[in-house]
Amino acid sequence: MQRSAVWFWVSLTGALLLSRLCHINILWADEDYHLAAAIQMLHGKMLYRDAWYDKPPLSAMMALMFGAWPGWPLRVAGTVLAAASCAVAFRFAASLWSRREGYWAAGLLAFSVVFYLPPATIPLEPDTLMILPHLAAVYLSWKRKPLAAGLASGLAFAMNIKGLTVLFVCLIFAPAMWPLLLVGFAIPNALLLGWLVSEHAFPAYVESVWRWGLLYAGAPPGDTPVENALIRLANWFGFHAALGVAAVWYFVRAKDDRPRARLLAWALVSLATAGVGWRFSPHYLNQLLPPLAIAGAPGICVLAEESRASLRRIGAGILAVAALVAMIRFGPRYFLLAADDLAGRPHAWRDVALDQESRQAAGLIRTLAKEGDTIFVWGYRPNLVVYTRLPVASRMWESQPLTGVPADRHLRDATSVDPDWARQNRAELLHSSPSIIVDGLSAYNPRLDIRNYPDLATWFERYCLAGRAGLTSVYRLCTRAAP
């Protein structure tokens, strides 16, 4: 390997590692959920059957590789994933054009997962986890390796149900090889389904992943979901303008380029997938990063070779300004977080206020917990399970399936997507006796106060307040109610 190539990869990996280590004392929403599920597996519980989990199993299983620990193990794992994704982007673009485009593809992808909203790019959750198998599957399709491509798309689906569209893109790139693509896709998912069936967890898997998932997708938050979705999409492209401009330059200016039509179809499929349920959430839009990074790489090279100097200068200026906007908007936060960590002080940042509060509540819980204690969380605070590492008391361990209100709106809304089903789930909760209940919701949204549910009144009366951390209340089973 040439010295310049070594410096490129060392610099890229170093930048990814430093950006993630700046978040070493933060647990972002969604990644904590999968760590919490993995911790329950470490306690001997079966996903779905013993612990509610509304995502395909592989995301939680990936966390087992580093013991489901937050802090540096989580951030190093995120770095490895991001660097591997950049390496596959390099190989893909280099095989389509040349090593020059390969380096640009890797660089564009790395830039995009550093300079954007941290909750969308830093967490190790299904949408970031899927970037690697997404890229690998399409690359292997292009290389005419359908069985391997099918395996990669199958792994993507086992992490994220949106991985099904990765298989569709593979069929666009290698339509004649569809039998082996489907066989490869089926192998990992057949193994996982066989495991679920053998553990009597398949019905609960269908309920939590598919029934709840469809209810969630069919009920976008807010009164104007289409308008909100378009605003989020415009914001995303605004901060990814460098990536978008480079890709558009390729699609418009490249001449006689063989893969252009398929790359455009890939980008359009990914855009449609990110908009399922009219959400276009920032982390959903990670689906667009692979096709735009691959298309943007030759776009920059085409721009550099423009025969008209004026057009070349205009394009380069637009790219530079677009990149600077993202760097100026998101770069300073890394320095602020690093300064806090080096000084040993908590982060004073509104975006992580709930996480900081959960850390305080977890500290209180650790002083109360005894051997064999279990936990239940009213609200969506999986980070409490991660910080305490306590086993949950029953399958229903957080309030989404108990209220029917998804976590993306439960701090401001109380509309259940299925009240009857939520009532049945609360009846199941009544058969459990968690040692500790943490209420991280009632004070934030009084309409979802646990005391507002008459069917939980007698059950909840057995618990005594043990302390508070901010607006989070910690209850312990009263001595007189203990079995």
In DSSP notation, 461-473 reads TTEEEEEEETTEE
Q: Nearest 5 degrees, angle CA 172-CA 177-CA 183?
A: 105
Q: Nearest 5 degrees, angle CA 82-CA 84-CA 86?
A: 70
Q: Nearest 5 degrees, angle CA 7-CA 8-CA 11?
A: 80
Structure-token pair, residue 204: 């609960």
- Residue 77 CA to its chain's centroid (Å): 14
pLDDT for the residue numbered 255: 82
pLDDT for the residue numbered 21: 98
Taking only the tens place, the pLDDT of each residue in 346-384 is 999 999 999 999 999 999 999 999 999 999 999 999 999
Integer Rg of the chain from CA: 24
User: Has residue 483 got a pLDDT over 60?
Assistant: no
pLDDT for the residue numbered 35: 98
Q: Identity (one letter) of the amino acid at 412?
A: R
* Beta carbons of 47 and 193 less than 8 angstroms apart: no
Give me the sign of the Cα torsion angle 231, 236, 241, 243.
negative
User: Has residue 482 got a pLDDT over 70?
Assistant: no
Residue 367: Cβ within 10 Å count: 9
Coil/strand/helix, residue 473: strand
Structure-token pair, residue 442: 């009632």
Coil/strand/helix, residue 476: strand
User: Has residue 226 got a pLDDT over 90?
Assistant: no
How many residues in the chain?
A: 483
Q: Rounded to 10 degrees, what is the CA torsion of 243, 248, 251, 254?
A: -90
User: In angstroms, what CA-CA distances link 160 with 134, 163, 338, 397?
Assistant: 11, 5, 32, 22
Quick one: average pLDDT of 60-87? Answer: 98
Taking only the tens place, the pLDDT of each residue in 319-348 is 999 999 999 999 999 999 999 999 999 999
Q: Rounded to 10 degrees, what is the CA torsion of 60, 61, 62, 66?
A: 100
Q: Which of 120, 200, 214 has its CA nearest to residue 417?
A: 214
Place of tokens 């199993």: 57
> Which H or E element spans position 183?
helix 178-198
User: Has residue 8 got a pLDDT over 70?
Assistant: yes
pLDDT for the residue numbered 481: 54
User: Has residue 42 got a pLDDT over 90?
Assistant: yes
Residue 24: Cβ within 10 Å count: 16
Quick one: average pLDDT of 121-148? Answer: 98
User: Has residue 258 got a pLDDT over 90?
Assistant: no
What angle, 0 to 180 degrees and rounded to 10, lies between the N-to-C axes of helices 72-96 and 3-21? 140
For the ranges 77-81, 215-219, 417-421, which has the lowest average pLDDT? 215-219
User: Has residue 186 got a pLDDT over 80?
Assistant: yes
pLDDT level of residue 219 (50, 70, 90 thresholds) = confident
Coil/strand/helix, residue 392: strand
Mean predicted lDDT score pLDDT of the chain? 95
Q: pTM of the entire structure? A: 0.95
Taking only the tens place, the pLDDT of each residue in 416-469 is 999 999 999 999 999 999 999 999 999 999 999 999 999 999 999 999 999 999
Quick one: average pLDDT of 266-271? Answer: 97
Give the number of C-alpha atoms closer than 13 A to the C-alpha of residue 355, restricted to the C-beta side: 21
How far apart (Å, rounded) are the C-alpha atoms in residues 151 and 130? Answer: 13
How far apart (Å, rounded) are the C-alpha atoms in residues 368 and 389? Answer: 14
pLDDT level of residue 146 (50, 70, 90 thresholds) = very high
222 beta partners = none
* Beta carbons of 114 and 16 less than 8 angstroms apart: yes
User: Has residue 256 got a pLDDT over 80?
Assistant: no
For the ranges 12-21, 225-234, 290-299, which has the lowest average pLDDT? 225-234
463 beta partners = 477
* Beta carbons of 349 and 334 less than 8 angstroms apart: no
Residue 200: Cβ within 10 Å count: 11
Q: Identity (one letter) of the amino acid at 201?
A: A
Residue 403: Cβ within 10 Å count: 26
